[in-house]
Amino acid sequence: MLEISNICKVFKTKNGTTYALQDVHLNIKKGEFVVLVGPSGCGKSTLLSIIAGLERATSGEICKEGRPILDAGPDRMVMFQEAALFPWLKIIDNVEYGMKIKGISKQERREKAMYYLRMVHLTRFAAAYPHELSIGMRQRVALARSLAMDSDVLLMDEPFAALDSQTKNILHTELQQIWGATKKTIIFVTHNVEEAVLLADRVVVMTANPGRIKKEFRVQLGRPRNIEDIDLTRIVGQILSELKEEVEKVAKEELDSDWCLKSNSFVSRPDTNLGNGI
């Protein structure tokens, strides 16, 4: 359904040109849950913005059902790291906003907004303003707002990164249920590998400088998945080892040249060093 071909994105800055994305190819099937993981600066969020139509690729093309994507549109809803709710609108009006733009009648959009607020369990707060809700609740509203648009593609840019881990766990479970119920194509960006394996049908590992796809992992585990599942942990391990050199590569570029990660080395503690000074 989504064909991403030959995408390049170049940023020109004072310090020279950065290849945020280079020759990215990816095909995404209808109803698939794809998660992009990678070290910071690998262009995963940029790729998502290009799919959303919020940014333009320097070269290459993304087609949705055969038609090239040129602009942002309500057929590809985006959830950001922050909820991005409008503070001057009540929760219910925030959920209705997109439908209002679409031109759906008042009665219908109120019903639909309430339906999706029920799905995220926040009907009690329909008349509240966004600042009266916790960050996790706001993110739920953002999810309801995205779902209410009936887009077939849902793009999620680290939507749970700012949440505490308990809230995150609950939302992971609910997102899987909602995905199962709505059959949407979801592209999810995260730097958390466990989150990726927990949610994804397919995990796409990206590398930085230049940003490109390194490897893909299929996750063929039953749902609902459990974070403590041994098969899940095994896949997480595989992906982490794939990512490790990437993370180190990025760190080496950012930090002083004498930096290196000492792994598996003995942690010396001066106060328990028995043989010292003999």
Partner 1 sequence: MQDLSIPIAAHISLQRLLIGYFISLVIGLLLGVLIDRIKYLDEALSPLLLGVQTLPSICWLPLAVLWFGLGEEAIIFVIAIGSIFSISMSVVSGIKNVPPLYIKAAKTMGAKGLRRYTSVTIPAAFPSIISGMKQSWSFAWRALMAGELLTPTSGLGYVLIMGRDLHDMNQVVGIMFVIVVMGLLIDRLVFGRMEHAVLYRWGLTKG
Among 67, 88, 270, 276, binds partner 1 (CB under 8 A): 88
Q: Which of residues 45-84 bind partner 1 (CB under 8 A)?
A: 52-54, 72-74, 76-78, 80, 82, 84
62 in Cβ contact with 24 (< 8 Å): no
**C-beta closer to partner 1: residue 149 or 243:** 149
Minimum distance, C-beta of residue 80 to partner 1, in the bound complex (Å): 6
Residue 240 binds to partner 1 (criterion: CB under 8 A):
no
**C-beta closer to partner 1: residue 101 or 255:** 101
Minimum distance, C-beta of residue 263 to partner 1, in the bound complex (Å): 38
Tokens of 196: 């990726």
Residue 159 binds to partner 1 (criterion: CB under 8 A):
no
**C-beta closer to partner 1: residue 89 or 170:** 89
Counting residues that bind partner 1 (by CB under 8 A) gives 25
Among 39, 98, 159, 211, binds partner 1 (CB under 8 A): 98
Residue 130 binds to partner 1 (criterion: CB under 8 A):
yes
| C-alpha span between 145 and 19 (Å, rounded) | 34
Residue 115 binds to partner 1 (criterion: CB under 8 A):
no
Minimum distance, C-beta of residue 155 to partner 1, in the bound complex (Å): 8
Tokens of 104: 């759906």
218 in Cβ contact with 49 (< 8 Å): no
Residue 229 binds to partner 1 (criterion: CB under 8 A):
no
Residue 128 binds to partner 1 (criterion: CB under 8 A):
no
Residues found near partner 1 in the complex (CB under 8 A): 52-54, 72-74, 76-78, 80, 82, 84, 86-88, 97-98, 101-102, 129-132, 145, 149
